C-alpha cells in the first residue's frame, strides 16, 4: 500500500473482496474495480493513458475508498467514493472518483461539488464512472462550466468501456502474468453479472419514440428542441455501445470517427448531429474497424424508418471496364449472405448513381453496363438496408437492431472487402543507372533536371 497523500485525513485501500452491506452496491463495485486498476499494471496503464497519464513499468498506482479530505467545501454533504494516486517517481497525479451503478445517474450538483473539493485540496482531476456512455474519456455526460474545469480536469469512464478494456487486454496477450489474467477475467465476470449494478446501454429515451411520432405527423425539427437534444445524446450512447460490442468481437479497438475539433469539444459533435437531424431527419456516424477497407457508415432515417450501414470503395483504376471493376468487387463478396445487401455504383461526371440488390447483380452483372453504356464505374458503395417500420420507434428494439446489424454488416461485408491500391511505379526502360555511377554524378543530374524545369 502506498503512502496516504497529505490532503487525506482518512481512507481505506481499495479491496478486491470488500466487506460491505448489501445496500453498498456502488461501493462494492468501485472497490473491486479500483483494486484491479492498482493490481493489474497493464489495465491501469491502459485506462489512465486515455487521461494523458503515461505510466512506465516503475510507476505506481494506489487506490483508496471512503476518503475524507483535509479541506472541505461549504457544502460538505458530498463525499467522494474513491481516490487514485499515480506516482511515476518524478511526479504525482491524483484524481477523485465518483461511481454510479444501476439506474443512478451523475448530477451536476454533485460533480461540481467534487470539482470544487478537488481544487481546494490540490487534486488534479475528477473521474466519474457510470452506465452512461461517452466516445472519449475527455467527453463527459454532463455539461459543466469551464470555470470549474480550468484548474481541475474532468474525465468519464463508462462501465462498458472498462469491461471492453479488460477484454482487449486479455485478447491481445499484453498481460502475461497468470494471476493478473485471472483478476481481469474475474473482473469482467463480476461486472457483467446483474448484481454489480453495471448495465450496458440498451434503450433509447422516451424522446426517441416522441420524435418518431412527430416526424410521421410532419412536425418541424428544431436544434433548440430538448427532445432532439435527448435523441442525439442517446444516439451517441448507442454508437459507443456498438463500438464496444464490435471491439470485443474483433479483439481490437473499434472507434467512432470524428474531426479533431469534435474530439476536443463535445458540443461541436452535438451541434453537427443536430444539424444532420434537422436537415434530413437522419442521424449519421462513421465507425472505423482497424484495418478495414473503409469506415462503416451507420444511418438512422426517421422519415423512412430505415437503418442502413454502408462502406464506400474506389473502383480499381488498373481495370479499364465496368465489367472488370465490378467483377473485382463481386469476387470479394462471393460467399457472403446477400440478404438486405445492395450495391450502389457511382459514375463519372453528373451521371446519377445506380443501385441493385447484391443478389441480382451477382446473378446478372451485365445489368450494370446496360444502364450506363459506354461509361466506366468510378466507385462503389455496399449497403445493408433494413426497413424497420413501426419497430424503428420502439426504444429497445432500435438499439438491439442496430447493434445486431453492425455486427452482421462487418461479418458479411467489412471483414471481406479490401481497398484497391495502385501498384508502385516501375523504373522506365533505359532509366536504370549503372552501379558505377557516382553520388556526385547523380546529384549533378538532379540539379540539371531541376534547373530545366525551373527555366
Summarised one tens digit per residue, pLDDT across range 384-397 is 999 999 999 999 99
pLDDT for position 17: 66
Least confidently predicted of 146-160, 230-244, 279-293, 436-450: 436-450
Please answer whether residues 31 and 93 qualify as being in contact, where contact means their C-beta atoms are separated by less than 8 angstroms: no
**Model confidence over 258-307: pLDDT tens digits?**
888 887 777 788 888 999 898 889 999 999 999 999 999 999 999 999 99
Do residues 69 and 122 touch, judged by C-beta distance below 8 A? no
Strand partners, 128: 98, 156
> What is the average per-residue pLDDT within 419-444?
74
- The whole-model pTM stands at 0.75
What gap in Å lies between CA 133 and CA 244, rounded to an integer? 10
pLDDT of residue 99: 93
401/176: higher pLDDT: 401
**Could you read off the pLDDT of 13-60 as tens digits, one per residue?**
676 766 545 557 788 889 999 999 998 878 888 899 889 888 887 888
Half-sphere exposure of 396 (CA within 13 A, CB side): 1
Distance CA 210, CA 204 (A): 11
Quick one: pLDDT at residue 455?
A: 59
- Among the ranges given (91-95, 219-223, 374-378), the one the predictor scored with the smallest mean pLDDT: 219-223
Query: What is residue 260's predicted lDDT score, i.e. its pLDDT?
Result: 81
Least confident piece of the model among 119-123, 396-400, 413-417, 439-443: 439-443
* Residue 10: band (very low, low, confident or very high) from pLDDT cuts 50, 70, 90: low
* Distance of alpha carbon 353 from alpha carbon 367, whole angstroms: 14
d(CA 240, CA 136): 9
Residue matched to cell numbers 518524478: 90
pLDDT value, residue 11: 65
DSSP line for 313-375 = EEPPTT--SHHHHHHHHHHHTTTS--TTEEEEEE-STTPPPEEEEHHHHHH-THHHHHHSTT-
Strand order in the sheet with 82-87: 8-13, 60-69, 82-87, 92-99, 125-130, 153-158
- CA atoms 87, 92, 96, 101: torsion sign: negative
Residue 129 has pLDDT above 80, yes or no: yes
Per the model's pLDDT, the better-predicted residue between 195 and 304 turns out to be 304
Give percent above pLDDT 90 in the chain: 48
Closest CA to 159 of 136, 194, 133, 187: 133
Please state the φ and ψ torsions of residue 87, each to the nearest 5 degrees: -120, 115
Cα angle 93-94-97, degrees, rounded to a multiple of 5: 145
pLDDT band at 442 (very low <50, low <70, confident <90, very high): low
Tell me if 67 sits within 8 A of 95, measured CB to CB: no
pLDDT for position 25: 79
Q: What is the pLDDT of residues 143-175, one digit of tens each?
A: 888 899 999 999 999 888 888 888 878 777 777
Average per-residue pLDDT for the chain: 87
Residue 176 confidence (pLDDT): 74
Q: Is the pLDDT of residue 213 over 90?
A: yes
Instruction: State phi, psi for 185 to the nearest 5 degrees.
Output: -65, -45
Torsion of CA 357, 363, 367, 368, to 10 degrees: 60
Mean per-residue pLDDT for 225-237? 87
Q: What is the pLDDT of residue 311?
A: 98
Work out the average pLDDT over 176-196: 86
| Cα 221 off chain centre by | 27
Binned at pLDDT 50, 70 and 90, residue 12 comes out as: low
CA distance 186 to 188: 5
Amino acid at each position: 500500500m502506498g503512502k496516504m497523500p497529505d490532503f487525506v485525513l482518512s481512507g481505506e485501500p481499495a479491496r478486491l473482496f470488500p466487506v460491505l452491506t448489501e445496500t453498498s452496491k456502488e461501493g462494492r463495485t468501485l472497490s473491486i474495480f479500483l483494486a484491479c486498476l492498482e493490481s493489474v499494471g497493464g489495465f491501469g496503464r491502459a485506462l489512465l493513458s486515455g487521461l494523458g497519464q503515461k505510466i512506465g513499468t516503475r510507476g505506481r498506482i494506489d487506490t483508496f475508498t471512503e476518503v475524507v479530505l483535509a479541506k472541505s467545501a461549504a457544502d460538505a454533504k458530498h463525499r467522494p467514493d474513491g481516490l487514485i494516486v499515480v506516482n511515476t517517481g518524478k511526479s504525482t497525479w491524483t484524481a477523485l472518483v465518483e461511481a454510479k451503478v444501476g439506474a443512478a445517474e451523475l448530477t451536476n450538483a454533485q460533480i461540481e461539488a467534487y470539482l470544487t473539493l478537488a481544487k481546494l485540496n490540490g487534486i488534479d482531476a475528477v473521474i466519474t464512472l457510470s452506465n452512461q456512455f461517452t466516445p472519449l474519456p475527455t467527453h463527459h455526460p454532463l455539461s459543466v462550466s469551464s470555470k470549474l474545469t480550468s484548474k481541475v480536469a474532468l474525465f468519464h469512464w463508462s462501465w462498458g468501456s472498462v469491461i471492453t478494456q479488460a477484454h482487449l487486454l486479455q485478447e491481445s496477450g499484453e498481460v502475461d502474468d497468470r494471476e493478473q489474467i485471472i483478476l481481469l477475467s474475474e473482473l469482467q465476470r463480476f461486472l457483467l453479472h446483474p448484481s454489480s449494478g453495471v448495465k450496458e446501454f440498451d434503450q433509447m429515451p422516451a424522446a426517441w419514440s416522441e420524435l418518431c411520432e412527430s416526424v410521421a405527423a410532419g412536425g418541424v425539427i428544431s436544434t433548440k428542441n430538448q427532445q432532439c437534444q435527448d435523441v442525439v445524446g442517446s444516439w451517441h450512447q448507442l454508437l459507443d455501445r456498438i463500438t464496444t460490442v464490435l471491439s470485443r468481437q474483433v479483439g481490437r479497438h473499434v472507434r467512432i470517427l470524428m474531426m479533431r475539433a469534435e474530439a476536443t469539444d463535445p458540443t461541436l459533435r452535438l451541434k453537427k448531429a443536430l444539424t444532420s437531424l434537422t436537415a434530413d431527419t437522419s442521424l449519421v456516424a462513421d465507425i472505423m474497424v482497424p484495418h478495414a477497407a473503409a469506415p462503416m457508415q451507420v444511418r438512422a432515417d426517421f422519415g423512412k424508418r430505415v437503418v442502413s450501414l454502408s462502406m464506400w470503395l474506389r473502383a480499381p483504376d488498373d481495370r479499364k471496364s465496368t465489367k472488370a471493376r465490378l467483377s473485382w468487387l463481386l469476387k470479394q463478396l462471393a460467399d457472403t449472405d446477400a440478404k438486405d445487401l445492395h450495391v450502389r455504383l457511382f459514375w463519372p461526371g453528373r451521371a446519377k448513381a445506380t443501385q441493385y440488390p447484391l443478389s441480382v447483380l451477382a446473378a446478372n452483372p451485365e445489368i450494370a453496363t446496360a444502364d450506363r453504356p459506354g461509361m466506366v464505374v468510378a466507385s462503389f458503395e455496399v449497403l445493408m438496408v433494413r426497413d424497420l417500420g413501426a419497430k424503428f420507434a420502439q426504444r429497445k428494439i432500435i438499439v438491439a437492431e442496430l447493434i445486431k446489424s453492425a455486427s452482421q454488416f462487418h461479418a458479411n461485408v467489412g471483414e471481406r472487402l479490401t481497398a484497391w491500391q495502385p501498384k508502385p511505379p516501375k523504373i522506365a526502360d533505359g532509366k536504370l543507372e549503372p552501379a558505377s555511377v557516382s553520388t556526385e554524378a547523380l546529384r549533378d543530374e538532379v540539379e540539371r533536371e531541376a534547373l530545366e524545369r525551373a527555366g
